[in-house]
Amino acid sequence: MKLTYYGHSCFLVETAQARLLIDPFFTGNPSAPVPASAVTCDYILLSHGHSDHTGDAAGIASECAATIIANHEIAEHYGAQGLKVHGMNPGGGHNFPFGRVNLTIAFHTSSFDQENPPRYAGCACGIVIEADGKRLYHAGDTALFSDMQLIGRRGLDLALLPIGDNYTMGPEDALLALDYLRPKLCVPMHYNTWPPIAQDAAAFAARAAQADHLVNPLAPGRSLEF
Ligand code: NI
Ligand code: MN
């Protein structure tokens, strides 16, 4: 499978059968290497309602006729706009044509934060994708939690983990998350977009290497095969 990083928490995952875009945030994202109009996909997976994860979801879903996969409340929100949606909730999995998606717990808030007042957007989630014999975990925005051990138990080829601190776990807790998850590879996310989440990803990777964890701080716009 091919992974492309678009900055912040946005990734494109290309499986044999489908293009999956996770947490699309291009417009207003200072780290986005391309505009939203440059990306095409078949599915859009959303971890929670915050605008730095859902900002371009409706626009891209409409442009590409993509199906939005998210928690029930977020799916209902976009379904009411006439978009194709598939609602789920933590603990639940579903077999899609490209593979299986499971939503996991995450410790974070979730709302449609661009509305005044912000409106409930279900709970924040993590996302596990199984396709082409690989298993990938996008943690969304979250604190460290010990149940990550369970997510790692079936084996992970790739974990996408926030390291920004302030809004999510920072590097210290992300190192503990790696001990729980034991992925073959970790790509850090949710850092350096704005000053409050500035982090040294190379230093994080070096500290992870001391504990035998492989971390690849992918620059926005870059891809890797896993
Ligand atoms: Ni958030
Ligand atoms: Mn966020």
How many C-beta atoms lie closer than 10 Å to residue 40's C-beta? Answer: 12
Beta strand extents in 65-180 (DSSP E only): 67-71, 85-88, 93-96, 99-105, 111-112, 119-120, 125-131, 134-138, 158-162
pLDDT at res. 8:
98
- High-pLDDT (> 70) share of the chain, %: 100
**Binning pLDDT at 50, 70 and 90, where does residue 73 land?**
very high
211 Cα: distance to centroid of ligand 2 (angstroms): 27
**Binning pLDDT at 50, 70 and 90, where does residue 42 land?**
very high
38 Cα: distance to centroid of ligand 1 (angstroms): 24
Domain at 136, CATH number:
3.60.15.10
Q: Exposed e or buried b for every residue in 185-223, given b needs 16+ CB within 10 A?
A: bbbbbbbbbeeebebebeebbebbeeeebebbbbebeee
108 Cα: distance to centroid of ligand 1 (angstroms): 7
110 Cα: distance to centroid of ligand 1 (angstroms): 6
Domain span at 106: 2-225
| Mean of per-residue pLDDT scores for the chain | 98
156 Cα: distance to centroid of ligand 1 (angstroms): 23
Residue carrying the six token digits 């109009």: 37
The residues, ordered by sequence, that sit 6+ positions from 89 with a Cβ below 8 Å of its Cβ are: 71, 72, 103, 122, 123, 125
SS3 label, residue 81: coil
pLDDT at res. 37:
98
Please tell me the total count of domains within the chain: 1
How many C-beta atoms lie closer than 10 Å to residue 144's C-beta? Answer: 18
Q: Which ligand is nearest to the CA of 106?
A: 1
Question: What's the pTM?
Answer: 0.98
Q: Which helix (H) or strand (E) holds 167?
A: none
* Torsion angle, alpha carbons of 144, 210, 225, 222, to 10: 80
189 Cα: distance to centroid of ligand 2 (angstroms): 10
Beta bridge partners of 19: 14
pLDDT at res. 198:
98
- pLDDT tens-digit series, residues 79-100: 999 999 999 999 999 999 999 9
Check: CB of residue 90 under 8 Å from CB of residue 104. Answer: yes
185 Cα: distance to centroid of ligand 2 (angstroms): 22
- pLDDT tens-digit series, residues 125-183: 999 999 999 999 999 999 999 999 999 999 999 999 999 999 999 999 999 999 999 99
Check: CB of residue 22 under 8 Å from CB of residue 10. Answer: yes
pLDDT at res. 182:
98
